[in-house]
């Protein structure tokens, strides 16, 4: 404190000069309409700029929470839409109390905490596990499309084998022609997957949409996978060589929805009985 007082005392002439300068500027602004208007307009612009900057900083640090809320809202909307399509009732009409139609799909929002795209067997770690009802075998999707399947779970985390995994196969449909095949990654480009088993009499074109078929009990029908990016057909080949550009950029994956299919055990058990006969 003594040093501060000594510093002010030693530089008293400079501080007196600054004080007089500010006093003169105040007199000019206070007693001249033009200068006063310019000063207050400039000060208001400066304050507005500072406020905008500070608000932008606050918004940036709130992005994580905003994205989480949007992901949860998206999961809720997916579940509402799926339920509405299944029950075939208008949104404002309550279904009968004795309806035998049980719950089919449920969507659980989760945050991606680890993600790989540079391996041949890529995996994703999410922040939801068995405590949230997540189980191995469940489908994982995003707002953009198919992501993968749950492989392992702990209480608070789950590991997902992404579609960028050479062993993961997804039943898919060429939306325009309704011909179905299998989507599988070849381990090279993380933006493209192969679409197999489309016969040569079909006429796929670049830009055609590829979606999930719903033929297994994992992925709901109609989930976006991507669009045809490359079409090849060898002279004696039975099937096309098709490349699909994924709708989801896995380098930008932040939030996903885990799909619980409550009818999957019933379907699986019935199909196993048929296979054993």
Mean local confidence (pLDDT), 175-189: 95
**22 pLDDT more than 90:** no
27, 44, 61 - which closes a domain? 61
10 in a domain, yes or no? yes
Our count of domains for the chain comes to: 2
Look up the CATH number of the domain holding residue 177. Answer: 2.40.10.350
SS (H, E, C) the chain: CHHHHHHHHHCHHHHHHHHHHHHHHHHHHHHCHHHHHHHHHHHHHHHHHHHHHHHHHHHHHCHHHHHHHHHHHHHHHHHHHHHHHHHCCCCCCCCCCCCCCCCCEEEEEEEEEEECCCCCEEEEEECCCHHHCCCCCCEEECCCCEEEEEEEECCCCEEEEEEEECCCEEEEEECCCCEEEEEECCCCCCCEEEEECCECCCCCCCCCEEEECCCCCCCCCCCEEEEEEEEECCCCCCECEEEEEECCCHHHCCEEEEEEECCHHHHHHHHHHHHHC
Q: What is the pLDDT of residues 229-252, one digit of tens each?
A: 999 999 889 999 999 999 999 998
User: What is the pTM (predicted TM-score) of this model?
Assistant: 0.66
Mean pLDDT of 245-263: 90
Q: What is the pLDDT of residue 75?
A: 65
- Predicted confidence at residue 216, as pLDDT, reads 77
Domain with 201, as residue range(s), is 169-248
In this model, does residue 130 exceed pLDDT 50?
yes
Most confident of 86-95, 100-109, 237-246: 237-246
Residue 206 lies in a domain: yes
Residue 40: inside a domain? yes
The mean pLDDT of 84-93, rounded to a whole number, is 46
């Amino acid at each position: 404190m003594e040093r501060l007082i000594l510093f002010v005392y030693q530089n008293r002439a400079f501080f007196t000069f600054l004080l007089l300068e500010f006093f003169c500027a105040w007199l000019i602004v206070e007693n001249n309409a033009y200068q006063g208007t310019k000063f207050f307009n400039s000060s208001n612009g400066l304050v507005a700029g500072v406020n905008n900057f500070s608000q932008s900083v606050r918004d940036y640090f709130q992005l994580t929470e905003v994205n989480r809320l949007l992901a949860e809202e998206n999961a809720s909307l997916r579940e509402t839409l799926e339920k509405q399509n299944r029950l075939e009732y208008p949104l404002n009409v309550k279904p009968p109390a004795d309806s035998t139609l049980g719950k089919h799909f449920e969507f659980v929002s989760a945050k991606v905490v680890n993600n790989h795209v540079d391996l041949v067997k890529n995996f994703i770690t999410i922040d939801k596990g068995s405590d949230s009802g997540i189980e191995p075998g469940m489908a994982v999707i995003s707002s953009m499309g198919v992501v993968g399947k749950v492989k392992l779970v702990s209480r608070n985390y789950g590991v997902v084998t992404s579609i960028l995994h050479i062993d993961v196969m997804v039943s898919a449909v060429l939306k325009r022609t309704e011909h179905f095949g299998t989507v599988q990654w070849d381990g090279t480009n993380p933006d493209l997957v192969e679409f197999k088993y489309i016969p040569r009499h079909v006429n796929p074109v670049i830009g055609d949409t590829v979606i999930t078929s719903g033929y297994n009990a994992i992925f709901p029908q109609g989930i976006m996978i991507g669009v045809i990016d490359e079409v090849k057909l060898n002279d004696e080949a039975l099937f096309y060589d098709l490349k699909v550009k994924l709708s989801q950029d896995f380098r930008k994956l932040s939030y996903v929805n885990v799909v619980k299919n409550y009818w999957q055990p019933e379907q699986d058990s019935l199909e196993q009985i048929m296979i054993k006969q």
